Amino acid sequence: MKLDAKIPSGPLAEKWERHKFDMKLVNPANKRKFDVIVVGSGLAGASASATLAELGYNVKCFCYQDSARRAHSIAAQGGINAAKNYQNDGDSVHRLFYDTIKGGDFRSREANVHRLAEVSANIIDQCVAQGVPFAREYGGHLANRSFGGAQVSRTFYARGQTGQQLLLGAYSALSRQIGLGKVQMYERTEMLDVVVSDGRAAGIVVRDMVTGKISSHSGHAVVLATGGYGNVFFLSTNAKGCNVTATFRAYKKGAAFANPCYTQIHPTCIPVSGEYQSKLTLMSESLRNDGRVWVPKNAEDCGKKPSEIPDEARDYYLERKYPSFGNLAPRDISSRSAKEACDDGRGVGPGGLGVYLDFRDSIERLGEQAVRDRYGNLFDMYERITGDNAYQTPMRIYPAVHYTMGGLWVDYHLQTTIPGLFCLGEANFSDHGANRLGASALMQGLADGYFVAPYTIGNYFASEKPAELSTDAPEFREVEEEVNDRTKKLLSIQGKRTVTSFHRELGQLVWDKCGMARNEKGLKEALKKIPELRAEFWENVNVTGTNGELNQNLEYAGRTADFLEFAEVLCHDALTREESCGGHFREEYQFTKDDPEVKSGFTGEGEAKRRDDKFAHVSAWEFKGVDKKPRLHKEKLAYEEVKMSTRSYK
Q: Among all residues, which ones are annotated catalytic?
A: 331
Q: Which helix (H) or strand (E) holds 598?
A: helix 596-599
Residue 449 is given by DSSP the state I
Q: Is 207 in contact with 251 (CB distance < 8 Å)?
A: no
d(CA 409, CA 494): 37
Reduced to 3 states (helix: H, G, I; strand: E, B; else coil), residue 564 is: helix
Residues 264 and 583 sit within 8 Å (Cβ to Cβ): yes
Q: Containing H/E element for 513? A: helix 499-514
CA-based max dimension of the chain: 74
Q: For the chain, what's the residue count?
A: 650
- Nearest CA-CA partner of 571 in 618, 637, 512: 512
Question: What are the backbone angles phi and psi of residue 33, rounded to the nearest 5°?
Answer: -85, -10
Q: Please tell me the distance from the alpha carbon of residue 299 to that of residue 293, in angstroms, as a whole number.
A: 16
CA 283 to mean position of chain CA atoms: 16
Number of Cβ atoms within 10 Å of the Cβ of 302:
17
Q: Which phi and psi angles does 570 have, rounded to 5°? A: -60, -45
Rg (CA), the chain: 24
Compute the CA torsion angle 479, 485, 486, 488 (nearest 10 deg): 150
Angle, vertex CA 444, rays to CA 439 and CA 448, nearest 5: 160
**Using CA atoms, how far apart are residues 185 and 206, in angstroms rounded to an integer?**
13
CA 278 to chain centre: 19
Q: Which residues of 139-171 are buried (b: 16+ CB within 10 A; e: fewer)?
A: eeeebbbbbbbbebbbbbbbbbbbbbbbbbbbb
Q: Are 83 and 117 in contact, with CB atoms under 8 Å apart?
A: yes
DSSP result, 111-170: HHHHHHHHHHHHHHHHHHHHT----B-TTSPBP-B--TT-SS--EE--TT-HHHHHHHHH
Q: Which candidate, 625, 194, 238, places its Cα nearest to that of 416?
A: 194
Collapse the DSSP code of 336 into the 3-class scheme (helix H, G, I; strand E, B; otherwise coil) and give the result.
helix
Residue 641: Cβ-neighbour burial (10 angstroms; 0-12, 13-18, 19+): middle
> Is 9:105 a contact under the CB 8 Å cutoff?
no
| Side-chain-side CA neighbours of residue 282 (13 Å) | 24
Q: Which residues contact 445 (CB under 8 A, 6 or more apart)?
A: 42, 43, 44, 47, 73, 225, 424, 425, 426
The number of helices, as runs of H, and strands, as runs of E, in the chain is: 19, 19
